[in-house]
Amino acid sequence: MFLQPAVVALLGKGLALTIALTVITSVLATCLGVLVGLGRLQGRRWLSVPAAVFVETFRNIPALVLVVFFAFALPNAFAPPLRRALFFDNPITHALAALTGLLAPWYLLGGALGLTLNTAAYIAELFRAGVGTVAREHVDAARSMGASWGVVYRKLLIPGGLHAAHPAITSRLIHNMKNTALLSFVSVPDFYGAVLTAISRSFQAIEFLLLAAAVYLVLSLGMSAGLQAAARKLFPTPRRPA
Amino acid sequence: MSDHLAFLWRQLPNLLVGFPQQRPGGLVLSLVLAVLAVGVGFAVALPVGSGRLSPRRTVRGLALAYIELFRGLPLILLLLLVHQGLGGRRFGLDLSPRQSAFIALTLYTSAYQAEIVRAGLQAVPQPMLDSARLLGASTWQIFWRIQLRYALRVMWPAFVGQAISLFKDTSVLVVLGVGELMTTARAALGSDIRNAAYWVSLYLLVGLLYMVVALLASQAARRWEQRRTSTDLVHSLANA
């Protein structure tokens, strides 16, 4: 049997890291994506132009390039003492090292940053398209009844945009979960990284790769079902056509 | 600054077409692999996507399983599965990294394209199919001459998006060392500690190359789409 206790512990830790990474980057990317998407809708150019540049940059650069750039390349841009202080030897990395047991937690942080920016750029576009389906008349009606823009955004535009865009956002978040496997390339021991380690120790490649495939399938299908259930809870009424 | 530019200038031909005295690689190989995989992937996606709408339950189930399987796995895992599984000792096929990469990319994109095909076929208005049937067309005639022709117009933008997405995904092939853009970038930096300073500028250039190709492709597709829709009868019917 290829699953020895030590290997199970290794894979379990990896799986926990993959799930934690998925949850944290998904939440951050959704919030950031909504903000950037709203920024793109603004009439003021100093808001809409940077938002558009953000979207086009982080959507058109592959996730792996972003991950490698932030994790491995960015620290090299600084002189050694500053590099140590910024990326490898400060309270944040110490805390993270204590929490995860990693020797260089920056690789995890930088990789997560790359994933978050990539996913946020996609979500910003999806959300912007979703807001476009909110009827202009509803906004005008709310405004003429004295609602402030803050209320219009909070009660009408943001929920409406998320409601219209949620199927696409769901599939993007599942994509984000699959992209966490890219962090193994910057020596983060996520589930896929743990699988690679287990293979290099045991040379039983096929067994571990098939196990990994099963786990990622369960994660994908589970995430899809979970997010659909959450959407049904959040948006119980079917959308009326605008 | 000038030493960075000199380094990038020296590496640019390697990034674009691969290293001299080796097989062609770099950006050109990324593009070729993506285009081939999307093309072959479509040939696979057509039966799978149509199978999703089959009246037979087993066909529908098989098509759904195919799609969920290859969409649910990270590409980086699919690559190793194909390379080690199909190409491994036990299965007996001796696959080169390039062949494995091509197979994995094709499987991956075909699952996404199958969903596009299904959505496109479902967008065909029922009255159009009923009229064809009333005029005496056979099922196959309806499928090839009406449903598919109509659906292809609906599917086109989604296909372009999928192709661009797959082009960016080719960066993952670096795990097999296929020699595409990301692999040449890693090889250009090598393990030389003196190159450490060039990491940022080189990966900025690599990101820029991917971005420029992706933006140009989506621009060109949009331009082509606009020109064609103005003269296309089927499209004007679809949007009437």
The mean pLDDT values, 10 residues at a time, for chain A of 242 residues are 83 94 96 95 90 95 96 88 86 85 88 96 95 88 89 90 92 95 94 93 88 96 94 78 50
Q: Do B202 and A213 touch (CB under 8 A)?
A: no
Tens digit of each residue's pLDDT (9 = 90 or more) over B111-163: 999 999 999 999 888 898 899 889 988 888 888 888 888 888 888 889 999 99
Q: Please give, rounded to a whole number of angstroms, the shortest distance from the CA of B71 to a CA of chain A.
A: 9
Q: In CATH, what class is A5-234?
A: mainly alpha
- B98-106 mean pLDDT: 95
Residue range of the domain that includes B213: 2-239
CB contacts of B71 in chain A (<8 Å) are 220
Buried b (16+ CB within 10 A) or exposed e, A177-207: bbbbbbbbbbebbbbbbbbbbbbeeeeebbe
Residues of chain B with pLDDT > 90, as a percent, come to: 53
Cα→Cα distances A18→A25, A193, A208, A216, B177, Å: 10, 10, 16, 10, 25
What ipTM, to 2 d.p.? 0.89
Does residue B84 belong to the interface with chain A, where contact is any CB pair within 8 Å? Answer: yes
CB contacts of B199 in chain A (<8 Å) are 72-73, 76-77
Q: Provide the 10 A C-beta neighbour count for residue A97.
A: 16
Asked whether B37 and B44 are in contact (CB, 8 A), the reply is: no
**Total beta-carbon pairs less than 8 A apart between chain A and chain B:** 99
Question: What is the C-alpha to C-alpha distance for residues B27 and B216, in angstroms, rounded to an integer?
Answer: 14
Q: What angle do CA B170, A193, B186 make, to 5 degrees?
A: 45
Which residues fall within 8 angstroms of residue A111, CB to CB, at 6 or more apart?
A67, A70, A71, A182, A183, A186, A188
Q: Give the residue carrying structure tokens 């299904």.
A: B118
CB contacts of B68 in chain A (<8 Å) are 217, 220-221
DSSP label at A3? -
Smallest CA-to-CA distance from A184 within B174, B43, B168, B156 is with B174
Quote the number of domains for chain B: 1
Q: Do A182 and B76 touch (CB under 8 A)?
A: yes
From the list A61, A76, A221, the residue facing B197 with the nearest CB is A76
pLDDT of residue A100: 81
Tens digit of each residue's pLDDT (9 = 90 or more) over B8-54: 898 888 888 888 888 888 999 999 999 999 999 999 999 999 999 99
Question: What is the C-alpha to C-alpha distance for residues B219 and A122, in angstroms, rounded to an integer?
Answer: 18
List residues bridging with B180 in a β-sheet. Answer: B26
pLDDT of residue A241: 52
For chain A, the structural domain boundaries read 5-234
pTM for the whole structure: 0.91
